[in-house]
A and B are shown apart, each in its own frame.
Chain A
Protein backbone atom coordinates (compact mmCIF):
# COMPACT_ATOMS: atom_id res chain seq x y z
CA UNK A 1 0.00 0.00 0.00
CA UNK A 2 3.03 2.22 0.41
CA UNK A 3 4.28 1.63 -3.13
CA UNK A 4 4.28 4.07 -5.99
CA UNK A 5 4.39 2.27 -9.34
CA UNK A 6 6.07 4.16 -12.15
CA UNK A 7 6.14 3.39 -15.86
CA UNK A 8 7.76 3.13 -18.28
CA UNK A 9 11.21 2.27 -17.00
CA UNK A 10 12.78 3.96 -20.01
CA UNK A 11 11.50 6.20 -22.77
CA UNK A 12 12.97 7.45 -26.04
CA UNK A 13 11.32 10.43 -27.68
CA UNK A 14 12.14 12.50 -30.72
CA UNK A 15 12.92 16.16 -30.25
CA UNK A 16 9.69 18.13 -30.24
CA UNK A 17 7.62 15.16 -29.20
CA UNK A 18 5.58 14.60 -26.04
CA UNK A 19 7.04 12.53 -23.20
CA UNK A 20 4.54 10.90 -20.86
CA UNK A 21 5.43 9.15 -17.62
CA UNK A 22 2.80 7.53 -15.45
CA UNK A 23 2.57 6.75 -11.77
CA UNK A 24 -0.01 4.95 -9.66
CA UNK A 25 -0.47 4.72 -5.93
CA UNK A 26 -2.65 2.87 -3.47
CA UNK A 27 -2.57 4.85 -0.25
CA UNK A 28 -5.39 7.37 -0.30
CA UNK A 29 -3.71 9.26 2.53
CA UNK A 30 -1.11 10.61 0.11
CA UNK A 31 -1.70 14.32 -0.37
CA UNK A 32 1.37 15.64 -2.13
CA UNK A 33 2.69 14.40 -5.48
CA UNK A 34 6.02 15.80 -6.69
CA UNK A 35 8.14 14.94 -9.68
CA UNK A 36 11.91 15.06 -9.42
CA UNK A 37 14.41 15.31 -12.25
CA UNK A 38 17.88 13.81 -11.96
CA UNK A 39 20.75 14.40 -14.35
CA UNK A 40 23.73 12.03 -14.36
CA UNK A 41 26.09 12.69 -11.48
CA UNK A 42 23.63 14.98 -9.75
CA UNK A 43 21.05 14.64 -7.03
CA UNK A 44 17.35 14.76 -7.86
CA UNK A 45 15.76 18.21 -7.99
CA UNK A 46 12.11 19.15 -7.70
CA UNK A 47 10.57 19.74 -11.11
CA UNK A 48 6.88 20.23 -10.40
CA UNK A 49 4.40 19.12 -7.76
CA UNK A 50 0.65 18.87 -7.32
CA UNK A 51 -1.77 18.52 -4.44
CA UNK A 52 -4.94 16.45 -4.82
CA UNK A 53 -7.32 19.39 -4.81
CA UNK A 54 -6.51 20.13 -8.46
CA UNK A 55 -6.52 17.87 -11.50
CA UNK A 56 -3.78 19.55 -13.48
CA UNK A 57 -0.81 21.80 -12.94
CA UNK A 58 1.29 23.31 -15.68
CA UNK A 59 4.69 24.94 -15.48
CA UNK A 60 6.15 25.83 -18.83
CA UNK A 61 6.48 22.67 -20.91
CA UNK A 62 5.83 20.42 -17.91
CA UNK A 63 2.32 19.38 -16.86
CA UNK A 64 1.09 17.07 -14.11
CA UNK A 65 -2.26 15.41 -14.68
CA UNK A 66 -3.86 14.00 -11.56
CA UNK A 67 -6.74 11.52 -11.40
CA UNK A 68 -7.78 11.12 -7.79
CA UNK A 69 -10.44 8.48 -8.39
CA UNK A 70 -8.04 6.30 -10.37
CA UNK A 71 -5.17 7.03 -7.98
CA UNK A 72 -2.93 7.90 -10.89
CA UNK A 73 -0.86 10.87 -11.91
CA UNK A 74 1.33 11.56 -14.88
CA UNK A 75 4.00 13.92 -16.11
CA UNK A 76 3.73 15.32 -19.61
CA UNK A 77 6.71 17.03 -21.21
CA UNK A 78 5.63 18.97 -24.25
CA UNK A 79 8.06 19.85 -27.06
CA UNK A 80 10.66 17.55 -25.52
CA UNK A 81 14.25 18.73 -25.89
CA UNK A 82 17.58 16.88 -25.70
CA UNK A 83 18.27 18.84 -22.52
CA UNK A 84 15.30 17.09 -20.93
CA UNK A 85 17.19 13.79 -21.11
CA UNK A 86 17.36 12.70 -17.48
CA UNK A 87 15.83 10.30 -15.00
CA UNK A 88 12.44 11.31 -13.67
CA UNK A 89 11.06 10.15 -10.35
CA UNK A 90 7.50 10.51 -9.24
CA UNK A 91 6.78 10.53 -5.55
CA UNK A 92 3.85 10.54 -3.20
CA UNK A 93 3.78 11.79 0.31
CA UNK A 94 1.55 12.18 3.27
CA UNK A 95 1.77 15.26 5.41
CA UNK A 96 0.87 17.85 2.81
CA UNK A 97 -1.52 19.46 5.22
CA UNK A 98 0.39 18.85 8.46
CA UNK A 99 3.81 19.72 7.08
CA UNK A 100 5.34 16.41 8.18
CA UNK A 101 6.16 14.78 4.89
CA UNK A 102 6.87 11.09 4.33
CA UNK A 103 7.91 10.51 0.76
CA UNK A 104 7.63 7.32 -1.29
CA UNK A 105 9.46 7.46 -4.61
CA UNK A 106 8.75 5.57 -7.80
CA UNK A 107 11.50 3.52 -9.44
CA UNK A 108 12.35 6.19 -12.01
CA UNK A 109 12.07 6.64 -15.77
CA UNK A 110 15.12 7.22 -17.93
CA UNK A 111 14.14 9.65 -20.66
CA UNK A 112 16.26 10.14 -23.74
CA UNK A 113 15.28 12.80 -26.21
CA UNK A 114 16.85 12.37 -29.62
CA UNK A 115 18.06 15.44 -31.45
Chain B
Protein backbone atom coordinates (compact mmCIF):
# COMPACT_ATOMS: atom_id res chain seq x y z
CA UNK B 1 0.00 0.00 0.00
CA UNK B 2 1.54 3.28 -1.17
CA UNK B 3 -0.49 5.44 1.20
CA UNK B 4 -2.03 7.39 -1.69
CA UNK B 5 -5.81 7.12 -1.89
CA UNK B 6 -7.80 7.79 -5.03
CA UNK B 7 -11.57 7.91 -5.38
CA UNK B 8 -13.63 6.76 -7.12
CA UNK B 9 -11.90 3.61 -8.38
CA UNK B 10 -14.28 3.30 -11.31
CA UNK B 11 -16.49 5.85 -12.98
CA UNK B 12 -18.77 5.50 -15.98
CA UNK B 13 -20.30 8.60 -17.50
CA UNK B 14 -21.60 10.00 -20.75
CA UNK B 15 -20.04 12.36 -23.25
CA UNK B 16 -20.44 16.01 -22.37
CA UNK B 17 -20.55 15.34 -18.64
CA UNK B 18 -18.20 16.56 -15.91
CA UNK B 19 -16.47 14.45 -13.27
CA UNK B 20 -14.18 15.06 -10.32
CA UNK B 21 -11.44 12.68 -9.29
CA UNK B 22 -10.04 12.93 -5.80
CA UNK B 23 -6.60 12.16 -4.43
CA UNK B 24 -5.35 12.03 -0.86
CA UNK B 25 -1.55 12.02 -0.89
CA UNK B 26 0.66 9.99 1.37
CA UNK B 27 0.68 11.43 4.87
CA UNK B 28 3.22 14.21 5.02
CA UNK B 29 3.74 14.54 1.27
CA UNK B 30 3.52 18.05 -0.13
CA UNK B 31 3.56 17.39 -3.85
CA UNK B 32 0.82 15.82 -5.95
CA UNK B 33 1.10 14.75 -9.56
CA UNK B 34 -1.69 13.70 -11.93
CA UNK B 35 -1.06 11.28 -14.79
CA UNK B 36 -3.27 9.84 -17.52
CA UNK B 37 -2.73 6.30 -18.73
CA UNK B 38 -4.62 5.25 -21.86
CA UNK B 39 -4.61 1.80 -23.42
CA UNK B 40 -1.15 0.99 -24.73
CA UNK B 41 0.02 4.45 -23.75
CA UNK B 42 2.54 5.39 -21.20
CA UNK B 43 2.00 7.67 -18.30
CA UNK B 44 1.15 11.10 -19.63
CA UNK B 45 1.92 13.87 -17.18
CA UNK B 46 -0.97 16.26 -16.65
CA UNK B 47 -0.14 18.60 -13.79
CA UNK B 48 1.80 18.93 -10.54
CA UNK B 49 1.01 20.81 -7.35
CA UNK B 50 3.34 21.58 -4.47
CA UNK B 51 1.90 22.70 -1.14
CA UNK B 52 -1.18 24.16 -2.77
CA UNK B 53 0.48 25.87 -5.70
CA UNK B 54 0.69 24.72 -9.29
CA UNK B 55 4.29 23.71 -9.97
CA UNK B 56 4.29 22.26 -13.47
CA UNK B 57 1.91 21.63 -16.33
CA UNK B 58 2.08 18.86 -18.88
CA UNK B 59 -0.27 17.81 -21.63
CA UNK B 60 -3.39 18.84 -19.79
CA UNK B 61 -6.38 19.82 -21.90
CA UNK B 62 -8.15 23.11 -21.29
CA UNK B 63 -11.26 21.07 -20.40
CA UNK B 64 -9.34 19.66 -17.47
CA UNK B 65 -8.41 21.52 -14.30
CA UNK B 66 -7.00 20.63 -10.93
CA UNK B 67 -6.33 22.10 -7.53
CA UNK B 68 -4.65 21.20 -4.28
CA UNK B 69 -6.41 22.17 -1.09
CA UNK B 70 -4.91 23.36 2.25
CA UNK B 71 -5.17 19.84 3.65
CA UNK B 72 -3.06 18.79 0.62
CA UNK B 73 -5.66 16.60 -1.02
CA UNK B 74 -6.12 17.26 -4.71
CA UNK B 75 -8.96 17.10 -7.20
CA UNK B 76 -8.83 16.69 -10.96
CA UNK B 77 -11.86 18.07 -12.76
CA UNK B 78 -12.66 16.77 -16.23
CA UNK B 79 -15.41 18.55 -18.15
CA UNK B 80 -17.15 18.27 -21.54
CA UNK B 81 -16.02 14.69 -21.56
CA UNK B 82 -15.24 12.96 -24.84
CA UNK B 83 -14.88 9.28 -25.67
CA UNK B 84 -11.13 9.75 -25.91
CA UNK B 85 -10.94 10.82 -22.27
CA UNK B 86 -11.58 7.24 -21.22
CA UNK B 87 -8.43 6.26 -19.35
CA UNK B 88 -6.89 5.41 -16.05
CA UNK B 89 -6.03 8.52 -14.08
CA UNK B 90 -3.27 8.23 -11.51
CA UNK B 91 -2.33 10.49 -8.70
CA UNK B 92 1.15 10.32 -7.20
CA UNK B 93 2.72 12.12 -4.29
CA UNK B 94 6.20 12.92 -3.12
CA UNK B 95 8.24 15.25 -0.92
CA UNK B 96 7.95 14.49 2.74
CA UNK B 97 6.76 17.51 4.70
CA UNK B 98 9.06 17.00 7.65
CA UNK B 99 12.19 16.12 5.77
CA UNK B 100 11.49 18.68 3.02
CA UNK B 101 13.56 16.29 1.01
CA UNK B 102 12.66 14.80 -2.30
CA UNK B 103 14.28 11.45 -2.88
CA UNK B 104 12.82 11.37 -6.36
CA UNK B 105 10.40 8.55 -5.61
CA UNK B 106 6.80 8.95 -6.66
CA UNK B 107 4.15 7.09 -4.66
CA UNK B 108 1.22 6.21 -6.89
CA UNK B 109 -2.37 5.53 -5.97
CA UNK B 110 -4.27 2.67 -7.60
CA UNK B 111 -5.92 4.98 -10.08
CA UNK B 112 -9.40 6.01 -11.11
CA UNK B 113 -10.70 4.27 -14.21
CA UNK B 114 -12.90 6.59 -16.22
CA UNK B 115 -15.13 5.24 -18.95
CA UNK B 116 -16.93 7.73 -21.15
CA UNK B 117 -19.81 6.26 -23.17
Contacts and interface: CB of A to CB of B under 8 A. Distances in A.
Interface of A: 6, 9, 32, 34, 36, 41-46, 49, 89, 93, 95-96, 99-108
A49 B42 CA distance: 18
Contacts of A104: 45
In the A-B complex, the 5 residue pairs with the smallest Cβ-Cβ separation, listed nearest first, are A43-B108, A107-B42, A105-B43, A99-B102, A46-B105
Nearest to B41: A107
8 contacts: A41-B110, A43-B108, A45-B2, A49-B105, A99-B102, A101-B104, A105-B35, A107-B40
B4 interface: yes
Interface in B101-116: 101-102, 104-106, 108-111
Contacts of B42: 6, 89, 105-108
A102 B106 contact: no
Interface in B62-117: 90, 92, 94-95, 101-102, 104-106, 108-111
Interface of B: 2, 4, 33, 35, 40-45, 48, 55-56, 90, 92, 94-95, 101-102, 104-106, 108-111
Contacts of B55: 100
Nearest to B109: A43
Nearest to A106: B42
Contacts of B90: 43-44
A98 B43 CA distance: 23
B111 A93 contact: no
A89 B43 contact: yes
A7 to B, nearest CB: 12
A34 B105 contact: yes
A45 B108 contact: yes
A36 B108 CA distance: 10
B110 A43 contact: yes
Given A101-B102, A105-B45, 11 more contacts: A41-B110, A43-B92, A43-B110, A46-B105, A89-B42, A99-B101, A99-B102, A102-B48, A105-B44, A106-B42, A107-B42
B106 A103 contact: yes
